[in-house]
């Protein structure tokens, strides 16, 4: 009795302490990091790296300025596959220990700090390994020019630790300066301002400065045969010479996009907004590295049909980079807000219909995802504590998150909702935030003034339940509905291929039309459509994706070679993983999938290889 009372009391005290400290925006425990930033936290990084393509390693020095709240506590850092060569402070070696590696998480690096001082600098000399999960060393054949190798990082979610020892949690922010040494034929680019990067450095020495505090997942580096061309007052494109001109014209609306967001949600705080075109093995579409968005070349369609990706990564400059999810548990605060803002940008620049169409397509992707995922992963707040946060990248945080914000917008009106969002960014700028922070902000800044309009919108239903509430207002699009109806009629033989009018179709038309056809189509129809629109040879990467899904399931052999080339060349997970899945469901497809993967694996990023290995039931990491 006494015992349980004491326990209750202890728990009550503990939860009061936690509630008070969280309310002040203090550090939230992050299950994906070994660090204890409540005791000792990182403030600034001076990074020196030498890039060696021959050994596929970075050799470096990370000099961390740390802030000690607990003067007796050690500095705990995340590392993954790093060879630590020395640790010192002020020229004196420090004692350190590295724990046994845990899959996905890596090892804890525990450093004993000298007694006393509040602020201390800790120097770590280290080397990365060729298989670092956050780096891809691309062979010349994997690049546009096929002349020189290419290196790029992808730190989100928890891969920064594989190339910089750090507190690898989005709850900790730091500024950084860096010096990167490369051979003179290469150019280095980082997520920080640098005139060297824009001008090129004949000696191969690149200096960078990031004066805004960023979380570790926004540390980024790319090195390749890159050129730079300006596209606006604060924007430009880095790309290989072979793709530069196409990229420059494709990204021509960037400055208008920046202005559009600024007009609604407050100033762009990062100085420059550049874009960097990566090799096709980049496992994502885009990554919002501050100052320079990293992008897949598969969006360079020549008709700006996929620039919503630029809108998306740009929007992260507010939702994500300025106001950051405190742990990966709150990932929807990054992606849901960003997807919402992305839609608003598309609408501002290209008109209401484009916004409507993209919202509806997004909603339909959400429905398909809900049909496939286990109920617990359909929650906006799923539990990923023991899992790889990369596996949380489903349509749920993106589209269910956007749909929730859309409910609020519809109920209170755009003007009030925009004001609310602008206030959210301003009030939490440069902070890491939790869903509870959002709920508090919502209650005091939106619900308080619009109680009647927001009645019945129960946030907990969205956070904790699968699917989405029945009562949700869902986006509609007449344009898409018409093409979907047409898709059904055409597949049923009621409309002739020649009467479809495919010449005038844009990307969403194709996605709607093809998406509405059954997965298996009669071969003569496939052949007719292919002849009419040259889909196998000419479709852009997203249309090709849907077309190839139909081709695989229908056994349409004329597309076989194009499909094989696509799967081997492109590493963007979203485009190729569903193709592998479709192959597995066809007779003889498993063998074909395995043969293709063997061929493709040397060119894939570790993240993509890992996903495909799991899908094919192959042992991990033999690439």
- Which x/- pattern over 366-395 shows residues binding ligand BES (rule: CB under 6 A)? ------------------------x--x--
Give the nearer residue to Zn ion in terms of CB position, either 335 or 347. Answer: 335
- Which x/- pattern over 132-161 shows residues binding ligand BES (rule: CB under 6 A)? ------------------------xx----
Output the smallest distance, CB 30 to ligand BES, in A. Answer: 15
DSSP 8-state symbol, 328: G
390 binds, among Zn ion, ligand BES, none (CB under 5 to 8 A by kind): ligand BES
Closest of 80, 61, 68 to residue 42, by C-alpha: 68
Number of residues that bind ligand BES (CB under 6 A): 16
- Could you tell me which residues come within 8 angstroms of residue 317 by beta carbon, excluding any fewer than 6 positions away? 261, 268, 269, 270, 273, 288, 290
393 binds, among Zn ion, ligand BES, none (CB under 5 to 8 A by kind): ligand BES
Count CB-CB contacts under 10 A for residue 536.
Answer: 21
Query: Could you say which of 574, 581, 594, 601 contacts ligand BES (CB under 6 A)?
Result: 574
- For 422, the enclosing helix (H) or strand (E) is helix 414-427
Contact 286, 295 (CB under 8 A): yes
DSSP 8-state symbol, 416: H
Q: How far apart are CA 245 and CA 257, in angstroms?
A: 20
Number of residues that bind Zn ion (CB under 5 A): 2
Output the smallest distance, CB 284 to ligand BES, in A. Answer: 3
Using CB under 6 A as the binding rule, whether residue 445 contacts ligand BES is answered as no
Give the nearer residue to Zn ion in terms of CB position, either 168 or 335. Answer: 335
Closest of 266, 265, 268 to residue 293, by C-alpha: 268
Output the smallest distance, CB 49 to ligand BES, in A. Answer: 22
Give the nearer residue to ligand BES in terms of CB position, either 337 or 490. Answer: 337
DSSP 8-state symbol, 501: -
- Which x/- pattern over 231-270 shows residues binding ligand BES (rule: CB under 6 A)? ----------------------------------------
* Residues within window 96-135 making contact with ligand BES, judged by CB under 6 A: none
Output the smallest distance, CB 339 to ligand BES, in A. Answer: 7
Which SS3 state, helix, strand or coil, does residue 369 take? helix
Pairing of strands 292-295, 57-68: unpaired
Segment interacting with ligand BES, rule: CB under 6 A, options 56-64, 126-134, 281-289, 550-558: 281-289
Give the nearer residue to ligand BES in terms of CB position, either 330 or 335. Answer: 335
- For 52, the enclosing helix (H) or strand (E) is strand 40-52
Contact 165, 124 (CB under 8 A): yes
**Which member of 273, 398, 406, 604 is catalytic?**
398
566 is catalytic: no
Query: Could you say which of 204, 224, 285, 336 contacts ligand BES (CB under 6 A)?
Result: 285
* Residues within window 295-324 making contact with ligand BES, judged by CB under 6 A: 308-309, 312-313, 316
Contact 545, 579 (CB under 8 A): yes
Which SS3 state, helix, strand or coil, does residue 536 take? helix
In three-state form (DSSP H/G/I as H, E/B as E, the rest C), the secondary structure along 249-298 is HHCCCHHHHHHHHHHHHCCCCCCCCEEEECCCCCCCCEECCCCEEEECHH
Cα-based distances in Å from 356 to 344, 353, 479, 508: 10, 5, 9, 11
Peptide bond into 157 cis (omega under 30): yes
Using CB under 6 A as the binding rule, whether residue 441 contacts ligand BES is answered as no
156 binds, among ligand BES, Zn ion, none (CB under 5 to 8 A by kind): ligand BES
Give the nearer residue to ligand BES in terms of CB position, either 109 or 575. Answer: 575
- Could you tell me which residues come within 8 angstroms of residue 461 by beta carbon, excluding any fewer than 6 positions away? 469
Output the smallest distance, CB 212 to Zn ion, in A. Answer: 19
Helix pair 560-569, 573-584: axis angle to 10 deg: 130
Give the nearer residue to ligand BES in terms of CB position, either 390 or 461. Answer: 390
Output the smallest distance, CB 9 to ligand BES, in A. Answer: 41
240 binds, among Zn ion, ligand BES, none (CB under 5 to 8 A by kind): none
Q: How far apart are CA 24 and CA 12, in angstroms?
A: 18
Task: Please provide the size of the chain in residues.
Answer: 623
* Alpha carbon 397 to chain centroid, angstroms: 12
Query: Could you say which of 96, 150, 265, 284 contacts ligand BES (CB under 6 A)?
Result: 284
- DSSP-assigned states of every residue in 350-370: H-HHHHHHHHHHHHHHHHHHH
**Which member of 313, 347, 356, 399 is catalytic?**
313
* Residues within window 338-357 making contact with Zn ion, judged by CB under 5 A: 338
DSSP 8-state symbol, 29: P
36 binds, among ligand BES, Zn ion, none (CB under 5 to 8 A by kind): none
- Could you tell me which residues come within 8 angstroms of residue 261 by beta carbon, excluding any fewer than 6 positions away? 268, 314, 315, 317, 318, 341, 345
Output the smallest distance, CB 324 to ligand BES, in A. Answer: 11
Count CB-CB contacts under 10 A for residue 386.
Answer: 9
Give the nearer residue to ligand BES in terms of CB position, either 107 or 324. Answer: 324
100 is catalytic: no
List residues bridging with 319 in a β-sheet. Answer: 323
* Alpha carbon 239 to chain centroid, angstroms: 20
Give the nearer residue to ligand BES in terms of CB position, either 73 or 373. Answer: 373
First to last CA, the chain: 59
- DSSP-assigned states of every residue in 380-411: SS---TTS-GGGG-SHIIIIIHHHHHHHHHHH
Using CB under 6 A as the binding rule, whether residue 288 contacts ligand BES is answered as yes
Output the smallest distance, CB 389 to ligand BES, in A. Answer: 7
Output the smallest distance, CB 247 to ligand BES, in A. Answer: 16
Output the smallest distance, CB 157 to ligand BES, in A. Answer: 5
* Residues within window 166-185 making contact with Zn ion, judged by CB under 5 A: none
* Residues within window 308-337 making contact with Zn ion, judged by CB under 5 A: 335
Give the nearer residue to ligand BES in terms of CB position, either 149 or 336. Answer: 336
Output the smallest distance, CB 575 to ligand BES, in A. Answer: 9
285 binds, among Zn ion, ligand BES, none (CB under 5 to 8 A by kind): ligand BES
Cα-based distances in Å from 482 to 316, 500, 512, 530, 596: 33, 12, 9, 21, 37
Q: Which residues bind ligand BES (CB under 6 A)?
A: 156-157, 284-288, 308-309, 312-313, 316, 335, 390, 393, 574
Footprint of Zn ion on this chain (CB under 5 A)?
335, 338
Residues with catalytic function:
313, 398
């Amino acid at each position: 009795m006494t015992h349980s009372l004491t326990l209750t009391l202890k728990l009550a005290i503990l939860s009061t302490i936690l509630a008070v400290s969280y309310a002040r925006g203090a550090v939230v425990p992050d299950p994906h990091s070994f660090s204890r930033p409540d005791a000792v936290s990182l403030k600034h990084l001076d990074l020196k790296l030498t890039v060696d393509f021959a050994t596929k390693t970075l050799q470096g020095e990370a000099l961390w300025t740390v802030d000690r709240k607990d003067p007796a506590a050690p500095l705990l850092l995340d590392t993954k596959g790093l060879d630590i060569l020395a640790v010192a402070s002020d020229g004196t070696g420090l004692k350190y220990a590295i724990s046994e590696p845990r899959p996905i998480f890596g090892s804890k690096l525990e450093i004993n700090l000298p007694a006393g001082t509040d602020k201390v600098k800790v120097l770590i000399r280290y080397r990365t390994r060729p298989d670092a999960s956050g780096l891809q060393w691309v062979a010349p054949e994997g690049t546009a020019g096929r002349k020189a190798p290419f290196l790029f990082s992808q730190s989100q979610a928890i891969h920064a630790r594989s190339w910089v020892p750090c507190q690898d949690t989005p709850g900790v922010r730091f500024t950084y300066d860096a010096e990167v040494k490369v051979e003179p034929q290469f150019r280095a680019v980082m997520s920080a301002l640098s005139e060297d990067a824009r001008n090129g450095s004949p000696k191969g020495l690149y200096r960078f400065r990031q004066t805004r505090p960023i979380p570790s997942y926004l540390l980024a580096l790319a090195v390749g045969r890159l050129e730079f061309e300006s596209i606006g007052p604060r924007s430009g494109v880095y790309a290989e010479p072979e793709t530069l001109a196409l990229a420059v014209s494709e990204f021509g609306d960037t400055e208008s996009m920046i202005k559009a967001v600024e007009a609604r949600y407050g100033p762009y705080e990062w100085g420059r907004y550049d874009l960097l075109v990566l090799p096709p093995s980049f496992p994502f579409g885009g990554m919002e590295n501050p100052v320079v968005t990293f992008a897949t070349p598969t969006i360079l369609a020549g008709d700006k049909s996929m620039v919503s990706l630029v809108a998306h990564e740009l929007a992260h400059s507010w939702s994500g980079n300025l106001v950051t999810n405190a742990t990966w548990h709150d990932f929807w605060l990054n992606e849901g807000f960003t997807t919402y803002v992305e839609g608003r940008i598309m609408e501002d620049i290209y008109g209401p219909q484009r916004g409507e169409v993209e919202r509806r397509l997004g909603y339909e992707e959400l429905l398909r995802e809900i049909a496939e995922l286990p109920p617990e992963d359909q929650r906006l707040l799923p539990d990923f504590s023991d899992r790889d946060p990369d596996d949380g990248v489903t349509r749920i945080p993106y589209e269910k998150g956007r749909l929730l914000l859309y409910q609020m917008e519809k109920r209170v009106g755009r003007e009030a909702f925009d004001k609310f969002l602008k206030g959210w960014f301003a009030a939490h700028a440069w902070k890491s935030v939790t869903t509870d922070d959002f709920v508090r902000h919502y209650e005091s800044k939106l619900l308080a003034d619009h109680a009647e309009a927001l009645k019945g919108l129960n946030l907990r239903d969205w956070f904790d339940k699968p699917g989405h509430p029945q009562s949700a207002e869902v986006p509609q699009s007449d344009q898409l509905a018409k093409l979907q109806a047409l898709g059904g009629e055409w597949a049923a033989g009621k409309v002739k291929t020649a009467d479809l009018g495919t010449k005038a179709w844009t990307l969403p038309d194709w996605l709607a039309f093809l998406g509405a056809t059954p997965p298996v189509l009669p071969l003569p129809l496939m052949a007719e459509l292919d002849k009419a629109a040259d889909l196998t040879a000419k479709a852009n990467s997203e249309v090709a994706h849907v077309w190839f899904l139909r081709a695989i399931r229908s056994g349409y052999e004329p597309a076989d070679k194009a499909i094989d080339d696509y799967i081997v060349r492109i590493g963007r997970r979203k485009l190729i993983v569903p193709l592998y899945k479709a192959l597995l469901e066809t007779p003889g497809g498993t063998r074909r999938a395995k043969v293709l993967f063997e061929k493709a694996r040397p060119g894939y990023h570790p993240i993509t290889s890992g996903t495909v290995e799991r899908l094919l039931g192959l042992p991990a990491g033999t690439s």
